[in-house]
């Protein structure tokens, strides 16, 4: 039977769900995948070998639970449509409580683990990367959301609450302009009628556009930005860009954006232009973090000593933690401008 598996969106909330799971055993499968033919033809075969490894481990650890736990993994293998739309990395987590599929826009090392907890380190590293950002492609006729990094930009399924076009928020009918008639006069003077116009077509259109943008802003913040915590870049025509920036209450909305109709760009062009804007902004943010750390450390509110950081974290006294990525690097080598930074701040008096 043909099945259709939908990947889940990886967020800090979903990661917490995995970490807090009490079900035992926990099955974790990681695998590098391919986006296109013919390379992706081998992916289901490699996946089957990893599932077989999970099955072997289960026979030793929980022989009575093999069938129930492996069945969802085997069903995914037989979903041919799923394997035609993968990215660069596949993560599958299963237990007696739930079954989750995540697609990542970067490769992962092949791994199949049965343990008392899920193997989440690669997912945590991915979520902590400062390279990730989202792009809101906005026009009056189409709303799209993308998520990516320096290497790729992938479409994100919009929450049902997000309007897809201005027609979703327009009135049932455009209110026609109307006028009122007032009579003015004085002592010894005849009364004369004066007509007052109440709006016009352009006023109505402006009102509709602003209502649409406000609805998009509220829904994207509530159902995407607040969940992902990622910077949000706007891609829209200049006049729409300025209006949306003016009405938006999303604290993650970047000041920098793409002042162009996103519908005029191919996916590859959108990715290239978006990263060209995102990269300098992220470099500036990393420099600001380094400067903040230097100031905090000069006041005794920051540390690059791992033992001090560990004790502070255990005591709940860490405000911001920044870790430098890369083999052989140490957290205090700030001049390297790492991809992922950790800044440790200790509140005054503690």
ω before 25 within 30° of 0 (cis)?
yes
pLDDT, tens digit (0-9, with 9 covering 90-100), for 198-255: 555 555 556 899 999 999 999 999 999 998 889 999 999 999 999 999 999 999 999 9
Residue 27 has pLDDT above 80, yes or no: yes
Q: What is the pLDDT of residue 3?
A: 59
What stretch of H or E contains 71?
A: helix 66-77
- Provide the 8-state DSSP code for 176: P
Please tell me the distance from the alpha carbon of residue 5 to that of residue 175, in angstroms, as a whole number.
45
Tell me: the pLDDT tens digits for 70-101? Answer: 999 999 999 999 999 999 999 999 999 999 99
What is the pTM for the complete model shown?
Answer: 0.61
From the CB of residue 110, how many other CB atoms can be counted at a distance below 10 Å?
15
**What is the rounded CA–CA span in Å between residue 37 and residue 83?**
10
Residue 324 has a pLDDT of 61
Q: What is the mean pLDDT of the chain?
A: 82
| Domains, the chain, with CATH or none | 12-126 (3.30.960.10), 129-170+197-279 (3.30.420), 299-350 (no CATH)
| pLDDT at site 303 | 84
pLDDT at 205: 58
- Give yes or no for a contact between 8 and 94, defined as CB atoms under 8 angstroms apart: no
Distance CA 135, CA 153 (A): 9
Structure token digits, residue 192: 């004369």
Give the burial string for 224-248 (b: 16+ CB within 10 Å, else e).
bbeebebbbbbbbbeebbebbbeeb
């Amino acid at each position: 039977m043909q099945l259709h598996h939908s990947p889940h969106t990886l967020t800090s909330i979903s990661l917490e769900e995995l970490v807090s799971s009490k079900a035992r055993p926990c099955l974790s499968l990681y695998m590098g995948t391919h986006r296109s033919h013919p390379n992706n033809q081998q992916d289901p075969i490699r996946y089957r070998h990893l599932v077989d490894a999970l099955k072997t481990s289960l026979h030793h650890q929980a022989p009575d639970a093999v069938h129930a736990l492996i069945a969802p993994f085997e069903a995914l293998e037989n979903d041919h449509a799923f394997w035609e739309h993968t990215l660069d990395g596949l993560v599958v987590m299963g237990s007696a409580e739930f079954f989750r599929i995540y697609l990542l826009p970067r490769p992962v090392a092949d791994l199949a683990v049965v343990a008392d907890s899920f193997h989440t380190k690669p997912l945590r590293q991915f979520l902590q990367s400062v390279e990730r950002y989202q792009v809101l492609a906005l026009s009056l006729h189409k709303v799209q959301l993308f998520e990516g990094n320096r290497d790729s930009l992938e479409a994100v399924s919009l929450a049902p609450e997000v309007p897809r076009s201005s027609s979703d928020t327009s009135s049932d009918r455009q209110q026609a302009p109307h006028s009122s008639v007032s009579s003015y006069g004085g002592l010894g003077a005849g009364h004369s009628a004066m007509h007052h116009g109440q709006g016009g077509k352009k006023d109505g259109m402006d009102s509709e556009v602003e209502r649409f943008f406000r609805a998009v802003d509220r829904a994207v913040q509530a159902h995407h930005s607040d969940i992902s915590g990622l910077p949000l870049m706007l891609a829209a025509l200049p006049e729409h860009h300025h209006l949306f920036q003016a009405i938006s209450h999303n604290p993650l909305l970047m000041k920098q954006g793409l002042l162009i109709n996103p519908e005029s760009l191919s996916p590859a062009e959108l990715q290239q232009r978006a990263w060209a804007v995102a990269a300098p902004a992220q470099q500036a943010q990393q420099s600001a973090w380094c400067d903040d750390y230097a100031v905090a450390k000069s006041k005794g509110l920051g540390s690059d000593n791992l033992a001090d950081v560990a004790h502070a974290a255990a005591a709940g006294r860490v405000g911001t933690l920044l870790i430098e990525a890369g083999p052989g690097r140490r957290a205090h080598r700030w001049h390297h401008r790492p991809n992922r930074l950790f800044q440790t701040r200790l509140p005054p008096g503690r």
